[in-house]
Amino acid sequence: MKLATLRLPRRTAAVRIDGELAVEVGSPDVGALLAHHDWRERAAAADGPRHPLTTADLAPVVPQPGKIICVGLNYRAHILEMGRELPAYPTLFAKFADALVGPYDDIELPAVSEAVDWEAELAVVIGAEVRHATPERAREAIAGYAVFNDVSVRDYQNRTLQWLQGKTFEATTPFGPYLVTPDELDEGGLSMQCEVDGEVMQQADTADLVFPPAELVAYISQIVTLRPGDVIATGTPGGVGHARRPPRYLTDGSKLVTRIAGLGEQVNTARRHG
């Protein structure tokens, strides 16, 4: 099943994607839908108003997650090519909901930086409250997956040892287009690709994750209760602009395309504001 959050005049609506139609399921957004313990049954049985997907204005798939927890250094090949040892524990940081934009929205390039970078990622969306999870319970708590790009402001990120300020600039982070439930996906791994102005910059497979989704859910749930609608961004592979020589960054008008097999693609244009 594919779910999305649709922008409509004066409201939003959670929708189930049926081919070329978006069918309303009775909740204002996907996060609100996931708050119901029977969200799968509600979404599958819904027969609400229909909207053509070709003209749909999609919001971030979960517009206001309670938590967005991001993971750094989580692709084996990328870590090893940098000459580092594989980490024993996940590197975690946070992002705020104000950073999110829809899958086809503009990305806001902040006036204070010329070092805005791309980071294609697989996002995990939580579908049930979970704390101190076993691996099995962690898998059961995953509602589905989505495309995510952890657009980063590198000069601000590197001002201090803490990354938060460079990771959560407002209106920088595309999330969507859909939440896809695990039963529709290949558990072995999903191919991921990121293009900038038509040039492939990142190419990887999620099978290369050091800490896979269920392991991340279990680990993070030892720290904090994960609740429906919370998001875990699982990390990015090699190919980011900051690591290139010379470095390459997004500029006004840059077209950023991020796709993951089975999850769709997002197409965003970077725009300078201020």
| pLDDT, tens only, 24-38 | 999 999 999 999 999
In the chain, the amino acid numbered 177 is P
Q: What percent of the chain has pLDDT over 90?
A: 93
What would the mean pLDDT of 136-151 be, rounded to a whole number? 97
Contact 144, 182 (CB under 8 A): yes
Give the pLDDT confidence score for residue 228 in this predicted structure.
Answer: 98
Q: Domain spans of the chain?
A: 1-59, 60-272
Average pLDDT for the chain: 96
Contact 79, 71 (CB under 8 A): no
pLDDT at 48 over 90: yes
What would the mean pLDDT of 212-240 be, rounded to a whole number? 97
Half-sphere exposure for 30 (CA within 13 Å, toward CB):
36
Q: What is the pLDDT of residues 50-69, one digit of tens each?
A: 999 999 999 999 999 999 99
pLDDT at 274 over 70: no
Nearest to 22 by CA among 55, 65, 45, 62: 55
Give the pLDDT confidence score for residue 242 in this predicted structure.
Answer: 92
Q: Strands 255-260 and 231-233: what pairing?
A: unpaired
Is 1-59 a domain of CATH 2.30.30?
yes
pLDDT at 82 over 90: no
**Pseudo-torsion of CA 51, 53, 57, 58, nearest 10°?**
110
Give the integer Cα–Cα distance in Å for 175 and 63. 9
Q: What residues does 15 pair with on adjacent strands?
A: 4, 24
**Can you name the CATH fold of 60-272?**
Fumarylacetoacetate hydrolase; domain 2 (3.90.850)
Residue 110: exposed, middle, or buried by beta-carbon count in 10 A (0-12, 13-18, 19+)? Answer: middle
What would the mean pLDDT of 251-271 be, rounded to a whole number? 98
Distances (CA, A) of 192 to 131, 158, 163, 259: 30, 26, 24, 6
pLDDT at 168 over 70: yes
What would the mean pLDDT of 180-198 be, rounded to a whole number? 94
DSSP for the chain, written as a single string = -EEEEEEETTEEEEEEEETTEEEE-SSSSHHHHHTSTTHHHHHHH----EEEGGG-EEPPSSSS-S-EEEEES-BHHHHHHTTPPPPSS-EEEEE-GGGEE-TTSPEEEPTT-S-EE--EEEEEEE-S-BSS--HHHHHHTEEEEEEEE--EEHHHHTTSS--HHHH--TT-EEB-S-EE-GGGS-TT--EEEEEETTEEEEEEEGGGBSS-HHHHHHHHHTTS-B-TT-EEE----S--GGGSSS-----TT-EEEEEETTTEEEEEEEEE--
Q: What is the pLDDT of residues 90-116, one digit of tens each?
A: 999 999 999 999 999 999 999 999 999
